[in-house]
């Protein structure tokens, strides 16, 4: 073997999330280059090597899971967490309060805020993330985010977001933050041709992401879809926000005379190359449409709670066959980017949402009419393993990636290792390590491996020096607010 090798020894538990959902105890795992090559007893794994492994991690006190996958984020918003005046606002009011601040973004601010957001994700065990950058003031380019991902070592789906309909044309954003549609499409094509990688283990991919029904035109939606699909067989995906809250629904009905699901269907924005963020208010017709077309959903429970948008019908989506992954959403609408915590919140919120469903009258197996109350399913609405699957395989499917999301020979070596002998895990991990990860705490990863590279070791980032970054980020955040005041 010529590629660098890494041996993960004697893992207390490996939750593979493979097709059989196997969980292995006291097994070892061998990585060569960017792929997993073997799982088994240490002697069997080592028999495949002609020399000792180049690196070794002792996992005897760890749970090993696939690298978590984040399907929706706005990383630049790490600069504007907990801003006074919008802490208690719903979506539209929140955006109106923040647009003037974000208009002061610079390339340096975007690069450093992306690094901060990715550092937070990586230390929570997330190895792959998309990001929806839809603001390009003051010379900002999508490359500012891509370069940050390359520096820190995160697998990245960079979406070329856009806004083209400002307030004067009936949209939500101020006119100074929108772009000409021809320029958006030219830059979108340039980015795909320059950066989109289709190979196994691709570290950078591009998706096209007009921001929302209230900030882009129907023509931009159609032309973006046509552009993405003109790169046939290359997996260029489409992404936008949809059906996030009641105001979003009202805007679609008033402006277009359709529900959000009907709107995206009319624009050909459904299919297995499309995923939509939030979908809190997706109705039964929309769920059926998304299931039939394999249109994906990025579920963002913390943001949906923070903005009081509602509880997404995730169990109904999953039961219908809709691909669903998790997203932390923007740092300013979540105020955190911890993907294990997002999975835990998805688990808890699904259970609360079930209890809030109205009673239903159904015919049972014997033909008798019975009243079923929303809480009948109870805590089984979302289990710990369901939530972990959303955060791994679900996210991989939503992003169209078949090389990540579970642990098996041939898959990308994206892994997160969590210590089981911590205070938070005490009394839980000894019984069920996987359940403890989701139910007992929201721990930091002890080790995070991306594409075979250890980017977090013993809880510390190995690819960047964090304290100077945080100091620069603090300076940027203060400067951004100061420029907004003037």
pLDDT by residue, tens only, the chain of 486 residues: 469 999 999 999 999 999 999 999 999 999 999 999 999 999 999 999 999 999 999 999 999 999 999 999 999 999 999 999 899 999 999 999 999 999 999 999 999 999 999 999 999 999 999 999 999 999 999 999 999 999 999 999 999 999 999 999 999 999 999 999 999 999 999 999 999 999 999 999 999 999 999 999 999 999 999 999 999 999 999 999 999 999 989 999 999 999 999 999 999 999 999 999 999 999 999 999 999 999 999 999 999 999 999 999 999 999 999 999 999 998 889 999 999 999 999 999 999 876 555 566 656 556 677 655 544 556 788 999 999 999 999 999 999 999 999 999 999 999 999 999 999 999 999 999 999 999 997 799 999 999 999 999 999 999 999 999 999 999 999 999 999 988
Cβ-proximal residues to 281 (8 Å cutoff; 6+ apart), any chain:
243, 244, 245, 246, 248, 249, 260, 310
The torsion angles phi and psi of 319, rounded to 5 degrees, stand at: -65, -30
Closest C-alpha to 202, from 11, 451, 378: 451
Please calculate the CA angle 412-36-239 and round it to the nearest 5 degrees: 15
Which CATH superfamily does the domain covering 68-349+378-390 fall into? Metal-dependent hydrolases (3.20.20.140)
Q: Tell which CATH classification among 3.10.250.10, 3.30.70.330, 2.30.40.10, 3.40.1190.20 matches the domain 5-66+405-461.
A: 2.30.40.10
- State the sign of the Cα–Cα–Cα–Cα dihedral 330, 158, 149, 99: negative
- Measured CA to CA, the distance from residue 342 to residue 95 in angstroms comes to 22
The torsion angles phi and psi of 172, rounded to 5 degrees, stand at: -90, -40
DSSP of 242-291, one letter per residue? ES-SHHHHHHHHHHHSS-HHHHHHHTT--STTEEEEE-TT--HHHHHHHH
Region(s) of the chain under CATH 2.30.40.10: 5-66+405-461
What is each CA distance from 104 to 159, 160, 253, 455, 461, in whole angstroms?
Answer: 21, 19, 33, 32, 29
Q: Is 192 in a helix, a strand, or coil?
A: helix
Region(s) of the chain under CATH 3.20.20.140: 68-349+378-390
Cβ burial, residue 254 (10 Å; 0-12/13-18/19+): exposed
The pTM (predicted TM-score) of the whole model is 0.95
Please answer whether residues 245 and 333 qualify as being in contact, where contact means their C-beta atoms are separated by less than 8 angstroms: no
Tokens of 208: 């096209």
The torsion angles phi and psi of 267, rounded to 5 degrees, stand at: -95, 5
């Amino acid at each position: 073997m010529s590629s660098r090798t890494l041996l993960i020894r004697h893992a207390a538990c490996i939750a593979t999330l493979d097709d059989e959902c196997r969980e292995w105890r006291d097994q070892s795992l061998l990585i060569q280059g960017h792929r997993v090559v073997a799982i088994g007893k240490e002697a069997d794994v080592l028999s495949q090597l002609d020399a000792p492994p180049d690196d070794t991690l002792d996992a005897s006190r760890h749970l090993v899971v696939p690298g978590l996958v984040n399907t929706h984020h706005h990383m630049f918003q790490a600069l504007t967490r907990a801003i006074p005046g919008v802490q208690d606002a719903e979506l539209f009011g929140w955006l109106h309060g923040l647009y003037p601040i974000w208009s002061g973004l610079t390339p340096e601010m975007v690069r450093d805020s992306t690094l901060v957001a990715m550092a937070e994700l990586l230390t929570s065990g997330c190895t792959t993330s998309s990001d929806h950058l839809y603001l390009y003031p003051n010379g900002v380019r999508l490359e500012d985010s891509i370069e940050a991902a390359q520096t820190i070592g995160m697998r990245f789906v960079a979406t070329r977001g856009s806004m083209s309909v400002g307030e004067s044309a009936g949209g939500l954003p101020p006119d100074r933050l929108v772009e000409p549609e021809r320029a958006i499409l030219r830059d979108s094509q340039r980015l795909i041709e320059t950066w989109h990688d289709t190979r196994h283990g691709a570290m950078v991919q591009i998706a096209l992401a007009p921001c929302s029904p209230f900030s882009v035109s129907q023509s931009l939606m159609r032309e973006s879809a046509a552009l993405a699909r003109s790169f046939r067989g290359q997996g260029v995906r489409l992404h936008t926000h949809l059906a996030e809250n009641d105001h979003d629904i009202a805007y679609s009905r008033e402006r277009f005379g359709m529900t959000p699901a009907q709107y995206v269907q009319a624009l050909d924005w459904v299919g297995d190359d499309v995923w939509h963020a939030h979908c809190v208010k997706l109705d039964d017709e929309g769920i059926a449409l998304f299931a039939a077309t394999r249109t994906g959903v990025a579920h963002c429970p913390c943001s949906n709670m923070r903005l009081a948008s509602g509880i997404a019908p995730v169990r109904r989506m999953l039961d219908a066959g809709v691909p669903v992954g998790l997203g932390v959403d923007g740092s300013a609408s979540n105020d955190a980017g911890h993907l294990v915590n997002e999975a835990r919140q998805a688990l808890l919120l699904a259970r609360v949402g079930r209890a809030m469903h109205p009673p239903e009258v159904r015919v049972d197996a014997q033909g008798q009419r019975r009243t079923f109350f929303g809480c009948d399913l109870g805590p089984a609405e979302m289990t710990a393993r369901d939530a972990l699957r959303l955060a791994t395989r679900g996210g991989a499917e939503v992003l169209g990636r078949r090389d990540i999301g579970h642990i098996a020979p041939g898959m990308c070596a994206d892994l997160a290792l969590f210590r089981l002998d911590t205070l938070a895990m005490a009394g839980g991990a000894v019984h069920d390590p996987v359940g403890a990860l989701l139910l007992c705490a929201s721990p930091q990863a002890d080790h995070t491996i991306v594409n075979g590279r250890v980017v977090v070791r013993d809880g510390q980032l190995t690819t960047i020096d964090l304290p100077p970054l945080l100091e620069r980020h603090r300076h940027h955040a203060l400067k951004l607010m100061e420029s907004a005041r003037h």
